[in-house]
Amino acid sequence: MNFLAGINVALFAFVIAIPTMVQADAGEGREIYQKHCAECHGAELQGGLGSSFLDHVWNYGEGPRTIWMTVKYGIPNLEMPAWKDVLSDGEIKSVVGFIVAQDKNSALVPPPMPEQVKTEIYGLALEVLDDSLDEPWSIAFINKTQALVTDKTGKLYQMLNGKIQKDFIRGLPQDITNINQAGLLDVVLDPDYADNGWIYLSYSQELAKAKDEKRARAMTRIIRGRIKDGNWIDQQILFEAPEEFYSTTRHHFGSRIVFDEQGYLYFSVGDRGAKEQAQDMSRPNGKIHRIHKDGSIPKDNPFLNQRGAIPSIFSFGHRNPQGLATHPVTKEVWSTEHGPMGGDELNHIRSAKNFGWPEITYGINYDGNIISAFTEKDGMEQPVHHWTPSIAVCDINFYAGDLFSGWKNNLLVTSLKYRDLRRLVIEGDKVVHEEVLLRGIGRMRSVTVGPDGAIYVLVNEPSLILRLTPIVDNKD
């Protein structure tokens, strides 16, 4: 449940003034639910005409206040009616408390891990390789038996034959901060790794806190180094912003890294919670950057000669891009980015293009306020695809292996909020089909196609590394 953009702003000011909700009367809430809500949402809250309240997915904003508001005022133009003329504020509070409590209780008993899942083309075999990490974020394969895995807490692990090694890599930077969305994030190997051994990392770098600061400031940083005898060595800084651009917020770091066929390195930096900076070319925030492998700036970067612009910027107007991938046929870069409440985007990245945030968006703010009245403007790119409500879209990867031949060149997409893995069929710049492959296991953080052609998924809540292989190829 959620708000729609047309609700009066004054309404939100009123709701913000509502005292923090205390434990509601569970018996009264259950009674009200069965009388007024069960017909649409199911007697056991399992869903029906309306959505389920047991899958931990709140399409239009979670939290008691937000849900209270939705129940009271409804969602204009959708099937959710307003109950303000039927239920008192106290009764609404009781039913919201009951719903939220049932959702939390269901989360305590997660569904069993399926061993097999049926999709449109394949039966999938699911194998849990590891459940020992705190919050796995990214995986990079060295070969069929070796990989590197980042844990957001600041540790880099080796994985051998599907098993995470107990000893993590020593000597990583000590200024990695792990708060909220900050942490040790992406890991990518150099295209010529076999010859040069370079490994690329993105992380949230925290500055030393000044005496007058209540909280240290942080920003996305890109480095590379090598591993020898379990130690991180030869570190080089490829990108770090001037200190005046660091922020005390701990979200919207972006931080995905990808190489294209020419060997250029692309990386994303989120808007860091300052949306207007995504349009400011003197700031790295809200941009996708392009550099050489050694950190130098390509001579044909679009804003290299623009006065005051950050020379590494390749495209701008992004909110929080946490997915980057190179198309196996066109060799062009694609991205996914988190929208606010609505408006998650899939974008085809091209030089100098403005992707609009926050001047255009299909989403609204988390408090229901309008961010922009426009979804399109001249000179600003439209997303190839957008998800409204938001699915909290995260990592992406084009399938280019051999095990799933029927999915060749399809885009694999992870979702944090809907806790699913999706497959998109793309023709040109249009998504012509979307299928949910896997759902309900946890927050899908990252997806990678291994050198063996299997699909590897990193899951949070619970923290898992999954390996997906086909059971039967019904198409071939």
For the chain, the domains span 9-107, 116-473
Residues 6+ apart with CB under 8 A from 63: none
384 or 105, which is more confident: 384
Average pLDDT score over residue span 34-41:
86
- Residue with tokens 């040790």, as numbered in its chain: 184
Whether pTM exceeds 0.95: no
- Residue ranges of alpha helices (H) inside 143-274 are 193-196
State percent of the chain over pLDDT 70.
90
pLDDT for 6: 36
Res 81 pLDDT > 90: no
| Six token digits for residue 321 | 């891009």
- Residue with tokens 């029906």, as numbered in its chain: 48
Name the average pLDDT for the chain. 90
Compute CA distances 100 → 52, 56, 68, 105, 391, whole Å: 12, 9, 11, 9, 20
Rounded Cα distance between 194 and 410, Å, is 28
Rounded Cα distance between 417 and 420, Å, is 8
Strands (E), 183-264: 184-189, 199-206, 218-228, 231-240, 257-259
Residue 260, classified by CB atoms within 10 Å of its CB into exposed (0-12), middle (13-18) or buried (19+), is: middle
Residues 6+ apart with CB under 8 A from 282: 308, 309, 310
- Condensed to tens digits (0 to 9), the pLDDT of residues 254-294 reads 999 999 999 999 999 999 999 999 999 999 999 999 999 99
Rounded Cα distance between 201 and 213, Å, is 28
Average pLDDT score over residue span 335-358:
97
Q: Tell me the catalytic residues.
A: 252
Confidence label for 42 from pLDDT (cuts 50, 70 and 90)? confident
pLDDT for 1: 36
Pick from 410, 402, 405: nearest CA to 437: 410
Rounded Cα distance between 306 and 280, Å, is 12
Rounded Cα distance between 217 and 239, Å, is 17
Res 9 pLDDT > 90: no
How many Cα neighbours within 13 Å face the side chain of 459?
A: 29
Length of the chain: 476
Confidence label for 437 from pLDDT (cuts 50, 70 and 90)? very high
pLDDT for 108: 62
Q: Please state which of the ranges 88-97, 174-183, 290-299 shows the lowest mean pLDDT.
A: 88-97
Average pLDDT score over residue span 402-410:
97
CATH number of the 116-473 domain: 2.120.10.30
pLDDT for 76: 57
Pick from 327, 332, 333, 386: nearest CA to 356: 386
Rounded Cα distance between 412 and 396, Å, is 5
Is 9-107 assigned to CATH 1.10.760.10?
yes
Residue 248, classified by CB atoms within 10 Å of its CB into exposed (0-12), middle (13-18) or buried (19+), is: middle
